[in-house]
């Protein structure tokens, strides 16, 4: 409700675009929480990234496009470079991407301990960027050119917290979807 009051009281432009993107981001956050495998977690997280990009750039000030570009570059870049690569390695090692009680790599852990460490490290690198942790946090202050409700969405709900959630689910690979 804060977002509605904020946008309407300030007579912000492009409110329809804003609220559609905001709703997609919140829905995709729920998708991350309820994903049953690494690939759907990845798809929903990228939906969050793509739907929050217009929100970061919403104000259309001279610094807003720069903040939006840095935001999308960091988050999509690490997803493609790290998370997608880790998904590929996980599937090659385990033959599945489904979350399970003992973890995706439980049956093959003794044979692929090096692979498991590499996958964990790669997921950690993707996660620290999405969670805005050092040394890959520089996108977060630049993204704060967004309206105040978007800053709250980025910090408290969608991007940062969903990033931590996705990393925990992937690194520990628990059965969180049953």
Residue boundaries of the structural domains of the chain: 2-172
Q: Give the model's pLDDT for residue 44.
A: 92
Rounded distance between C-alpha atoms, residue 148 and residue 115, angstroms: 42
What per-residue confidence (pLDDT) applies to 97? 84
Q: Which of 8-17, 37-46, 88-97 has the lowest mean pLDDT?
A: 8-17
Question: Predicted confidence band at 178 (pLDDT cuts at 50, 70, 90)?
Answer: very low
Task: Identify the DSSP state of 98.
Answer: B
**pTM of the shown model:** 0.79
Chain-centre distance for alpha carbon 115? 23
Would you list the DSSP string of 15-43? HHHHHHHHHHHHHHHHHHHH-SBHHHHHH
Cis amide bond preceding 178, omega within 30? no
What span, in angstroms and rounded, lies between the C-alpha atoms of 92 and 176? 22
Rank 59-68, 76-85, 94-103 by mean pLDDT and report only the highest.
76-85
Higher-pLDDT residue of 130 and 22 is 22
pLDDT grade for 47, boundaries at 50, 70 and 90? very high
The highest-confidence range among 90-99, 103-112, 149-158, by mean pLDDT, is 90-99
pLDDT at 43: 93
With beta carbons less than 8 A apart as the criterion, state whether 52 and 153 touch. Answer: yes
What's the mean pLDDT in 3-32?
80
In the chain, what are the helix, strand and coil shares in percent, each to the nearest 5? 70, 0, 25
Tokens of 97: 């991407």
| Chain segment 135-175, per-residue pLDDT in tens | 777 777 777 777 777 777 777 777 777 767 766 665 554 33
């Amino acid at each position: 409700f804060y977002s509605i009051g904020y946008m309407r009281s300030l007579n912000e432009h492009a409110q329809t675009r804003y609220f559609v993107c905001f709703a997609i981001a919140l829905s995709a956050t729920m998708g991350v929480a309820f994903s049953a495998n690494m690939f759907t977690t990845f798809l929903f997280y990228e939906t969050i990234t793509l739907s929050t990009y217009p929100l970061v750039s919403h104000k259309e000030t001279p610094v807003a496009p720069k903040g939006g570009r840095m935001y999308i570059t960091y988050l999509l870049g690490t997803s493609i470079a790290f998370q997608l690569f880790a998904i590929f390695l996980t599937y090659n090692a385990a033959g599945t991407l489904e979350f399970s009680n003992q973890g995706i790599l439980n049956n093959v852990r003794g044979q692929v301990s090096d692979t498991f460490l590499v996958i964990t490290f790669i997921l950690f690198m993707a996660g620290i960027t999405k969670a805005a942790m050092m040394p890959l946090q520089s996108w977060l202050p630049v993204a704060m050119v967004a309206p105040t409700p978007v800053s709250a969405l980025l910090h408290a709900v969608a991007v940062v917290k969903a990033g931590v959630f996705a990393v925990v689910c992937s690194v520990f690979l628990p059965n969180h979807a049953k």
